[in-house]
Chain A
Amino acid sequence: MVDRIADIWGTRTPFAQGDRWPVRVDQVLAKGLSEQDVDRWVQSACVLCSNGCGIDIAVKDGAMVGVRGRAMDIVNHGRLGPKGLFASWQGVSNKDRLTQPLIRENGELVETDWDTAMDRIVSRSKALLEEKGPLSHGFYTSGQLFLEEYYALGIIGKAGLGTPHMDGNTRLCTATAAAAMKESFGSDGQPGSYTDIDECDAIFLYGHNMAETQTVLWARVLDRIGGPNKPMVVCVDPRSTEVARHADVHLPVRPGTNLALMHGLIREVIRNGWIDEEYIAAHTLRFEDLADKIEPWTPEAVAAECGVDAAAVVEAARIFGTSQRVLSTVLQGFYQSAQATASSCQVNNLHLLRGMIGKPGCGILQMNGQPTAQNTREAGADGDLPGFRNWENPQHIKQLAELWDVDELVIPHWAPPTHAAQIFRYAEQGSIKFLWISATNPAVSMPQLPRIREILAKPELFLVVQDLYLTETTQYADVVLPAAAWGEKTGTFTNVNRTVHLSEQAVEPPGQARSDLRIFLDYSRRMDFRTKSGRPLLDWEGPEDGFNAWRECSKGRLCDYTGLSYERLRGGSGIPWPVNEEHPDGTDRLYGDGVFPTHADAAEDYGHDLATGATVGDQAYKAMAPNGRAIFKTALYQGAHETPDGEYPFRYTTGRTAYHFHTRTKTGRSPQLHDAAPAMWVEMAESDAEALGLGEGDVVRVESRRGHLFAPVRTANIRTGTVFAPFHYGYWDAADPAEADPQQRPRAANELTLTEWDPVSKQPVYKTAAVRVTKVADATGPAPAPTTTASRPARAGRVLATVGGAAGEVSETIAPTEPPAAPRDEVRS
């Protein structure tokens, strides 16, 4: 047994370059239960990060009582991380679950039945359609529902109502991944694979604290580091994360300066001639566009702007330029920072320069934050058109109109879809009057919370919230719908490296809770949405009908699911798309042939100017004639818009801890995870803390131009001048009433963040703001921050180590079977 709170990544199983990652099956059961007590194991995949680990749910007496990793799954080879182990089931089987719909009566939410709740939604919806039309409706969903649910929602919005105002909280976590791939390669679709970890000579992690955000993926990296021929590791992160501690080169950039660093790396690689001119000539366009952007960024200029060593920049570029096989991974440190798309495209560009794409060990992982974010993007629930179709391509609109048997004019394709911050802006201005929020908690997760609360509280906004629990957002709702959770419904979802999993229903939902799919289908039926020929628009009986409909929609597109079925996904490993006649066993990597979906007929997007977000448009795009070649894109460096000054002297940045997911609706209800990171803290460098007379655990007020919060300080290994705040903590589990009121005792990280977004991906900027810090009280103990992660104290020995004790124990079975193999790449010319 291993304490997996104390040892987040579990026992090492080192392996050599090119070998398969050994299996280790992690299993945990409720206290007092042994394997013999389990009635049955039900196949699923984990939904507590974007990694997508295959998981089996233990069921006893109709309840979830534990989990184990699936040994044969190509994603995790049996492993699970602390969130999956402790929160996937305990975060769902909980006495706090919503079991009945609620409606607002005389200002209070009261219990009601489904008919009454749905009637209220439908009558408001119909009245608004009559009075104002579809643009009065907005939908804000999640990265945590299932594919079939997103596709249903997408059809409702695009073919039923006809509103462009649809987005997911994926806008906050992964929009830049999609945007960067569209700009560089013509379409969303992950080029790389997790198997690139097994093969690479070097791994670059750009703003990606993989050790905490995808703990099982990091275990795979650790096992490479622990084995023969270990890869070089380069880490770009202002904090001394676990990744940084294992890095050969750590570049602790000032938040907001990523693009300057990327320009500097590209400049070095080109100047040293570490580029593949043949590949560039044959497979790319616009190489010459890079020159004026990168020219000023000598290693010394990068050092001055980013606050890193010039020699480290040179060394990082050398590693990239001289290694044969490099894997790059990118996440929120780039996606949620200034000039997100331009910086992330520069990662793609490094690989294009060296022709290192689509070959073993030569991968790009533009990561996702959430387990099903890929499906939000694919199925159209984030506003993009389903199947990576292009809103500027009339042929793509026609395909959808035929598929759904609706008038092309109904499908909103006159402009890009409305992104989350703009949806909230329209609600603020009163032109969106009906907002349906599913499986997300914007009252904690959106930037600038004082403003978000005002919008949600507007009396003229009809707010529907669909969730497992009462949250900070449900308190503003007119109708609250109790949703069935993971394990209580069947469906599929797709992880970062395109691997599709089936998740089967293991238990019944509590009380009257219903699956999100059933709720959406019910709304469609009650609204009487119909096709041109008069049939119901959504006539699915259940999730498998939805999956089959989606297969049809995906046919011939890059994300082709036609070779998959529920039956095919039962029993074995998840399978990476495309899966079709050409690739019957799935596809490990894309673009091995150097042919990209940039042809005007295929492209998901005609691209943007990365500095302003101006669309390129179909004419200019066709004139460029990319025809299968990738496109070098970036922008001039500008830096962050809000930087420190005399009044607000610190750079404020937000992020994650290994023990929590999002706003803790699930992880906060797992005793092991809650105890490991029970309450809000902020991190500062020791020298900064000393200058303000602060010691470990002293309570500070952190204030930006938009709001303030109170939290104890952890003196941590973070670059000076920077304040870090975890974004997980809100108000639902506050110990006393004053702490539950953001007016009285604010503590959420997003009280301080600013409303601003990347001009292309429209992803909000959470990583840069200017703040000031003042002490408000002496410490009553150390800050409640884990010691096992990036929040570990700067000086050891003064804070008790984070442990799980008996409750944190997990059984690990090393190498019970041979490791599974990913689908083999087709060898093409």
Chain B
Amino acid sequence: MKLPIYLGLLHRSEHTLAESFRQVADGHGDEPDVYFLCRSLADQCEKHEQALLPIVERYGEVEKDDEPERLHADGLSKTRSGAVGLLRDLQDLYLLGSLVDITWTAVKQAAQGLRDAELLEVVTRCEGETKTQLEWLSTRMKQAAPQALIVAE
């Protein structure tokens, strides 16, 4: 069964996203909404990690699989500055969040196939929050983009 591969991927990507939210919060402290929300959302990602633990205990978790990593999603190495920098950082979060989101989708499919009620409950709880994270990032980027791309210096 290859589900442990996806559980590992999910676990790692939630962890990366949490770290990246925290990094963006600290790097953009002058944007109070970004600061406070990114910190809350980092906490939320860590709760998702916690929620996965009992599942991981049952199925195990595989760090490496036979498939080679083609796309590297290692998180943000450093935040940028300025209006365009904020936009880019939010965009990176959006990409990391999308990886988490689609991984939940795949895991949910497996959970249904396995008739695993416990896993389904975890997925249902977490995937909605991931979607809201993406919606917030999209909302915030829509607001920031015109100013950053047209008039910011």
Chain A positions within 8 Å of B, measured between CB atoms, are 132-133, 135-136, 164, 414-416, 418, 421-422, 425-426, 428-432, 609, 611-617, 638, 641, 754-757, 759
Contact = CB atoms under 8 A, between A and B. Distances in A.
B135 A615 contact: yes
Interface string B41-75: 10000000000000000000000000000000000
B146 A135 contact: yes
B152 interface: yes
B132 interface: yes
Nearest to A132: B151
Nearest to A292: B125
Contacts of A609: 132, 135-136
B139 interface: yes
Contacts of A164: 146
B105 interface: no
B5 interface: no
B147 interface: yes
A614 B135 contact: yes
Contacts of B31: 425
A422 B136 CA distance: 16
Interface residues of B, number: 25
B40 interface: yes
Nearest to B128: A609
Given A430-B153, A612-B40, A755-B32, 5 more contacts: A164-B146, A415-B146, A430-B152, A432-B151, A609-B135
28 contacts: A132-B151, A135-B146, A135-B150, A135-B151, A415-B145, A416-B143, A418-B143, A421-B32, A425-B30, A425-B31, A429-B152, A430-B152, A431-B147, A432-B151, A612-B40, A612-B132, A612-B133, A612-B135, A613-B33, A613-B136, A614-B132, A614-B135, A614-B138, A615-B139, A616-B135, A617-B135, A641-B36, A754-B32
Contact of B139 (A429, A614, A638): A614
B32 A756 contact: yes
B141 to A, nearest CB: 9
Nearest to B144: A415
Contacts of B83: 429, 431
A172 to B, nearest CB: 15
A614 B82 CA distance: 22
Given A611-B132, A757-B33, A431 B152 contact: yes
A135 B139 contact: no
A760 to B, nearest CB: 11
Residues of B contacting A: mostly = helix
**Smallest CB-CB A-B distances: 6 pairs:** A614-B135, A614-B136, A612-B136, A431-B151, A415-B142, A135-B151
B69 to A, nearest CB: 31
A806 B36 CA distance: 53
B37 interface: yes
A677 to B, nearest CB: 31
B121 to A, nearest CB: 12
A370 to B, nearest CB: 24
A759 B143 CA distance: 13
A136 B147 CA distance: 9
A638 B40 CA distance: 9
Contacts of A421: 32
Contacts of A426: 147
B119 to A, nearest CB: 19
A216 B5 CA distance: 68
A725 B33 CA distance: 25
A613 B82 CA distance: 22
Nearest to B150: A135
A613 B147 contact: no
A612 B147 CA distance: 21
Interface in B81-118: 82-83
Contacts of A615: 135, 139
B40 to A, nearest CB: 7
Contacts of A756: 32-33, 36
Contacts of A416: 143
Contacts of B142: 414-415
Contacts of B150: 132-133, 135
A291 to B, nearest CB: 13
A164 B139 CA distance: 15
A136 B150 CA distance: 9
A451 B31 CA distance: 13
Nearest to B31: A425
Contacts of A617: 135
A764 to B, nearest CB: 9
B146 A612 contact: no
A431 B153 contact: yes
Contacts of B82: 429
A426 B32 CA distance: 13
Nearest to B145: A415
B122 to A, nearest CB: 14
Given A609-B136, A638-B40, A136 B33 contact: no
Contacts of A432: 151
Contacts of B132: 609, 611-612, 614
A349 B20 CA distance: 36
Contacts of A612: 37, 40-41, 132-133, 135-136, 139
A617 B30 CA distance: 28
Which of A422, A612, A617 has the most CB atoms of chain B within a 10 A radius of its CB?
A612
Nearest to A765: B32
A757 B32 contact: yes
B151 A613 contact: no
B140 to A, nearest CB: 8
A641 B147 CA distance: 28
Contacts of A757: 32-33
A419 to B, nearest CB: 9
Contacts of B33: 613, 756-757, 759
B37 A136 contact: no
Contacts of A418: 143
Contacts of B30: 425, 428
A430 B147 CA distance: 11
Nearest to A422: B143
A109 B145 CA distance: 37
A605 B46 CA distance: 32
Contact of A415 (B40, B143, B151): B143
Contacts of A611: 40, 132
A812 to B, nearest CB: 48
